[in-house]
């Protein structure tokens, strides 16, 4: 049985999702797991989850005689890769970093450089229309972020919002943008409620 199949069967059998398998130099086998997605429920992988998967994988990999020197099981972290349709559904509305396989090209270039491949913006679903299947888009503005403590003039015209539609086959890589807030998990929600 192939390594991917062995690991995926073990991880899903324990009730987790397999995010990524990576083999590195020196015999390191790195497995990234996540909890299954339930809409409206925010869950996080704990150290105990990683221990549980590590113990089971060590046993299974020994039985299957898979060569490795060190096994590392971890959560996906704040820059979680997005690979499958369900990942995009789960993180719809989140800030993501996107890299295309090929530049957007002259036909799609408006205010964007035709040879641009990397984008950071908000992930949105595009509803299916007549003759076109549902898909995804990234929405962003190239305006520089406001610096803390600096007032932004209300007279200045805002930078235009830009949109790029894509299908998963066009992507080289997509990840959650690693945006760190030290104000707590619900700071964004409180700010909206107060404002």
Report pLDDT digits (tens) over 112-126: 677 888 899 999 998
Quote the pTM value.
Answer: 0.74
| Averaged pLDDT for residues 129-145 | 79
Instruction: Please determine, for residue 155, whether its predicted confidence score (pLDDT) is greater than 90.
Output: no
Nearest to 168 by CA among 106, 75, 40, 81: 81
Pair 168, 103 in one domain: yes
* Cβ–Cβ under 8 Å, residues 97 and 119: yes
Within a domain: 194: no
pLDDT at 195: 38
pLDDT at 184: 66
pLDDT at 149: 78
Within a domain: 99: yes
Within a domain: 193: no
- Other C-beta atoms closer than 10 Å to the C-beta of 16 total 21
Question: Virtual CA dihedral for 174, 180, 181, 187, nearest 10 degrees?
Answer: 20
Instruction: Please determine, for residue 166, whether its predicted confidence score (pLDDT) is greater than 50.
Output: yes
Instruction: Please determine, for residue 71, whether its predicted confidence score (pLDDT) is greater than 90.
Output: yes
51: domain range?
A: 3-74
CATH number at residue 172: 2.30.30
Placement of tokens 């995010």 in the chain:
19
């Amino acid at each position: 049985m192939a390594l991917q199949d062995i690991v995926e069967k073990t991880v899903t059998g324990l009730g987790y999702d397999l995010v990524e398998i990576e083999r590195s130099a020196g015999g390191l086998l790195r497995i990234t797991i996540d909890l299954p997605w339930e809409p409206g429920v925010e869950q996080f992988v704990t150290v105990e989850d990683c221990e549980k998967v590590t113990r089971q994988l060590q046993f299974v990999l020994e039985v299957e005689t898979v060569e490795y020197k060190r096994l590392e099981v971890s959560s996906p972290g704040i820059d979680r890769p997005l690979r499958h349709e369900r990942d995009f559904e789960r993180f719809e509305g989140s800030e993501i970093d996107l890299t295309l396989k090929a530049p957007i090209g002259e036909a799609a270039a408006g205010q964007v450089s035709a040879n641009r491949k990397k984008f950071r913006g908000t992930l949105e679903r595009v509803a299916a229309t007549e003759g076109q299947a549902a898909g995804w888009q990234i929405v962003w503005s190239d305006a520089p972020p406001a610096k803390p403590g600096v007032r932004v003039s209300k007279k200045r015209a805002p930078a235009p919002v830009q949109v790029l539609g894509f299908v998963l086959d066009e992507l080289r890589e997509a990840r959650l943008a690693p945006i760190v807030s030290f104000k707590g998990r619900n700071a964004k929600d409180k700010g909206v409620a107060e404002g």
